[in-house]
Structure 1
Amino acid sequence: IQFGEDQVVDGVVNADIIPVPRSFEPPALWIPQEFDNSPGGGVWSDKSWGPLGNQFIHTSYGKGWVYHFHPHEANGVTQGSMIAFPFQFDAGIQRATVNPADKQIYVTGLTGWDDGVASKYGTLNRIRYKGGEGHLIKDAEVVKNGVRLQFNFELDKEKCEQAENYKVSQWNYKWTSNYGSSHYSIKHKGEKGEDTVIVKNVFLSEDRQSVFLEIPDIKPVHTMRIRFEAYGRDGVKIKDVVYLTINTIPQKGIAF
């Protein structure tokens, strides 16, 4: 961007002359500070990485963990979801890269500011795929009238179709010059706070690896958070949290 002489005072852009944009292209994902207050960059995993192969793996300097991001296109707009890995590093991490020799992901870590979880000043870690499938939530996607959660294992129908196992909240942010933003209600415009989202019904897919959360009043929102408990047919129980950004509501539905 080039500025005229009248637009710069003592080497600083004059904010009274340069108009502040009133809008922006919506990001594919808003990251709340409770999940990642300082992203550290990411990398695509190798296709040999089992159930998490060929996926975008992102790091958090602020929280000292990694998470996988799942983009989806709807009505010509990209939006997505993110899910954290179930382990904690000893420092804020960044600089993720795939080693061409062993196809594993390596990350560096350090501490210095805004990384309260750190217990060491510097680290070098390998995230290694050991084989097998495990028990993972592998995707979360907004669809017409709700959200679909996909897993890589078969679910227990009776337990996973209980709506009380899914706690859903949502909120927006305010675009300002401040560092970060409070959470703002969708239902009560301008008021601070989070909205509770009612899950009307839960339906298990025919292959028993997906659930559809029916949310009749689903709307575009900066952040939707889904806390859930999932139960496998083999008796395994997992508890996890998914964050989604909903820029638009797709027209396609889900048949169960």
Structure 2
Amino acid sequence: FRNPNGLGLSPDGRFVTTSVQEGDWTPATSICQIELDHNLGAHFGAGGPKNGQPPEPVLLYLPRGEDNSASSQTFITSEKWASLSGEQAASSGSRNLVHLSSGGGSAWLVMRQNVKGRWQSAAMKISGNFDSGPQCTRFNPHDGHLYVNGMQGWGTYTPKDGCFQRVRFTGGTDKPVPVAFEARENGVLLRFNHPTSINAATSFAQCWNYHYSAAYGSPEYSVKYADTPGHDPLEIRSVQKLDDGKTIFIEIPQIIPANQIHLHLSSGQDLFMTVHALAEPFTDFAGYTQIAKTNHAAQIGLTAPPAAKPNPWTKGEGGRELVVEAALGLQYVQKELKAKAGEKLSIIFKNPDVVPHNWLLAKPGSLQRLGAACNLMIADPQGLARHYVPESKDVIAYTDMTNPKGSFTIHITAPKEKGDYPYLCTFPGHWMVMNGVLKVE
């Protein structure tokens, strides 16, 4: 997990949840779920692929505009909140839970669905006015209300240093709340705690995917057209009101599995879903018509990033050895190196630090320009595979990005023109202090 913050535990001990924070190898804020005797010890992505395999799918992604920094969860166990627990779903193991966003100062109702052995979920914001970034929450067994404590910290948009607040569910009928969802082959089935009406014309659906990479987070990409930034709109063909009005089917014939599906209802409510798989079509309504899916290039789930290209300087002719070492605190031990024009050199880069580094030799006067280009690669999903080396004529040679306690050797020819040639670490941000000069004489 990348920076897990808080835990949730189901009443029967079957499920444990935690949140992870957007960053390297974590494309967006997420809730991860561990199920007893099912995925214990699973790898959820932090630190990169293990054995070349993609990570365990998360329970839920949330866009950074909704939850930029997440915290803990609690399963709904209070009788006063019983109508929000999922009712029949609670008895089948898919009891709803409350999730906290410390960054957004909000609480979310999370509904879960199991399709073909894979858990997925939908979430809707139920409160967004905490005085400080909410961190931990539990239901009080004495009064049945939800109690939340909070604190200031990284990335929170809340105003106060700390808080201790109570959330009461009053059970009002003025705005019914969805308490269960099912992603089907032809749409989304929603069950509310009270009868409701949804208008298809003023509702909206869209979807997108994230990329799993060493970049800090991920842009939002089209599901239908891989590697194209943007969202795919999903046409809502109809809205079907069922039974006593508590169940609504949103007919979306072209719905497809996606890391994120956003459903905006005419009631003003927004649901964010992570859909790994679709259950069988829902057919129990008048006018049902089987509609074929449009062909598309959907990329479902997270895939392992591409392997790095072989370094072209590893097989060159060896020369005089120059050792360059990383030091603690984003520094090179050797701030200055010397070589004769046209001299054969073997650059041995050693990294005893605790974070990855490399060594790149550049043309005179290019440090600032090249460093700025390196910084921009933090959001490039291919950045690590390219060792954060930008496409630039300023680049002369470089080592691979070298993991902690590792080393990397390249064989180069010193430039034929005399001058001061800067060298730097290309990991975004490092170059500003981690640089030096090769003096060619």
Shared fold (TM-score, shorter chain, > 0.5): yes
Residues 1:144 and 2:185 are matched in the alignment: yes
For 1:81, the equivalent position in structure 2 comes to 122
Residues 1:90 and 2:121 are matched in the alignment: no
- Match of 2:255, SS state, is coil
> What CA distance in whole angstroms lies between the structure 2 residues aligned with 1:104 and 1:129?
7
> What CA distance in whole angstroms lies between the structure 1 residues aligned with 2:247 and 2:171?
23
- Match of 1:49, SS state, is helix
> What CA distance in whole angstroms lies between the structure 1 residues aligned with 2:105 and 2:51?
34
Q: 2:260 aligns with which of 211, 217, 223?
A: 223
For 1:253, the equivalent position in structure 2 comes to 282
Deviation for aligned residue 1:254? 4.5
For 1:128, the equivalent position in structure 2 comes to 168
Q: 1:175 aligns with which of 204, 208, 212?
A: 212
Q: Is the 8 A contact 2:188 2:250 kept in 1?
A: yes
209 and 131 in structure 1: CA distance in 2 versus 1, 3 angstrom threshold = closer
Q: Which has the higher strand share?
A: 1
- Match of 1:59, SS state, is strand
> What CA distance in whole angstroms lies between the structure 2 residues aligned with 1:179 and 1:146?
33
> What CA distance in whole angstroms lies between the structure 2 residues aligned with 1:66 and 1:210?
24
> What CA distance in whole angstroms lies between the structure 1 residues aligned with 2:228 and 2:72?
33
TM-score normalised by the chain length of structure 2: 0.48
In the alignment, structure 2 segments of 5+ residues that lack a partner are: 1-46, 86-94, 286-441
Q: CA RMSD in A?
A: 2.1
For 2:105, the equivalent position in structure 1 comes to 64
- Match of 2:240, SS state, is strand
Q: Is the 8 A contact 1:143 1:254 kept in 2?
A: no
Deviation for aligned residue 1:169? 1.0
Report matched runs for 1:1-256 at 5 Å.
Answer: 21-50=52-81, 51-53=83-85, 55-116=96-157, 118-130=158-170, 135-156=176-197, 160=198, 162-230=199-267, 239-256=268-285
User: Can you list the C-alpha shifts for 1:219-249, whole angstroms capped at 9, x where unaligned?
Assistant: 110000011113xxxxxxxx11001111011
Q: Is the 8 A contact 2:264 2:271 kept in 1?
A: yes
Deviation for aligned residue 1:22? 3.4
Q: Is the 8 A contact 2:72 2:135 kept in 1?
A: yes
For 2:310, the equivalent position in structure 1 comes to none
Deviation for aligned residue 1:73? 0.7
> What CA distance in whole angstroms lies between the structure 1 residues aligned with 2:189 and 2:256?
15
Structure index of larger Rg: 2
212 and 131 in structure 1: CA distance in 2 versus 1, 3 angstrom threshold = closer
> What CA distance in whole angstroms lies between the structure 2 residues aligned with 1:19 and 1:56?
30
In the alignment, structure 1 segments of 5+ residues that lack a partner are: 1-14, 231-238
**Identity of aligned pairs, percent?**
27
Say which structure, 1 or 2, has more relative contact order (CA 8 Å, 6+ apart).
1
Q: Is the 8 A contact 1:140 1:242 kept in 2?
A: no
TM-score normalised by the chain length of structure 1: 0.81
Q: Which amino acid letter does the alignment assign opposite residue 132 of structure 2? A: A
Q: Is the 8 A contact 1:58 1:69 kept in 2?
A: yes
Moved more, 49-58 or 240-249: 49-58
> What CA distance in whole angstroms lies between the structure 2 residues aligned with 1:95 and 1:19?
31
- Match of 2:201, SS state, is helix
Question: Number of residues paired by the alignment?
Answer: 227
> What CA distance in whole angstroms lies between the structure 2 residues aligned with 1:195 and 1:145?
16
> What CA distance in whole angstroms lies between the structure 2 residues aligned with 1:132 and 1:119?
29
For 2:347, the equivalent position in structure 1 comes to none
- Match of 1:164, SS state, is coil
Deviation for aligned residue 1:132? 5.2
216 and 152 in structure 1: CA distance in 2 versus 1, 3 angstrom threshold = same
> What CA distance in whole angstroms lies between the structure 2 residues aligned with 1:91 and 1:34?
18
252 and 194 in structure 1: CA distance in 2 versus 1, 3 angstrom threshold = closer
